[in-house]
């Protein structure tokens, strides 16, 4: 399975958020490398925790900036963030209970969700910030 490649398509033009997006992409790629190598049993939990903590911190920073800049799409954006956080929580719960390993389907979901979210919702937010002189 191909790793998630960081590229200009994933940049939104807000330096701090682009760095955080890169960290999330990197965490997903680490998970994928562990699963692909078959060595995921001992490392999936810590890698899922790293992905979750990076994602939670990033979402809070984004939502705080959206609130302070009065971004009109904040409520919908928060709902989309909450959806991913619920999925991450479910992955972590299943892993900890040993009822499921992280599989390609889960990794595909994470990769596709993050890519689509950055290229659409986050890109729209970055553009809005720049157009309204908020950044």
Q: What is the pLDDT of residues 27-82, one digit of tens each?
A: 999 999 888 887 777 788 888 999 999 999 999 999 999 999 999 999 999 999 99
CATH number of the domain at 110, please: 1.20.120.50
Chain-centroid distance of CA 32 in Å reads: 14
Q: What span, in angstroms and rounded, lies between the C-alpha atoms of 21 and 101?
A: 25
135 within domain boundaries: no
Report pLDDT for 83: 96
Q: What is the mean pLDDT of the chain?
A: 90
Token pair for 102: 């992280």
Count of domains in the chain?
Answer: 1
Whether the full predicted model's pTM is greater than 0.75, yes or no, is yes
36 within domain boundaries: yes
CA separation (Å) from 108 to 5, 29, 78? Answer: 13, 11, 22
6 within domain boundaries: no
131 within domain boundaries: no
Domain of residue 83 covers: 16-121
Instruction: Please answer whether residues 8 and 114 qualify as being in contact, where contact means their C-beta atoms are separated by less than 8 angstroms.
Output: no
Tallying the residues shown for the chain, one arrives at: 135
């Amino acid at each position: 399975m191909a790793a998630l490649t960081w590229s200009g398509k994933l940049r939104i033009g807000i330096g701090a958020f682009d760095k955080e997006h890169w960290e999330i992409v990197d965490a997903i790629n680490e998970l994928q490398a562990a699963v692909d190598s078959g060595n995921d049993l001992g490392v999936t939990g810590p890698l899922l925790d790293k992905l979750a903590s990076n994602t939670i911190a990033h979402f809070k920073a984004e939502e705080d900036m959206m609130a302070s800049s009065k971004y009109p799409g904040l409520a919908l954006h928060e709902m989309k963030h909450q959806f991913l956080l619920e999925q991450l929580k479910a992955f972590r719960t299943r892993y900890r209970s040993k009822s499921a390993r992280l599989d390609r389907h889960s990794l595909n979901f994470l990769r596709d969700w993050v890519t689509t979210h950055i290229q659409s919702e986050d890109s729209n937010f970055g553009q809005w910030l720049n157009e309204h002189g908020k950044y």
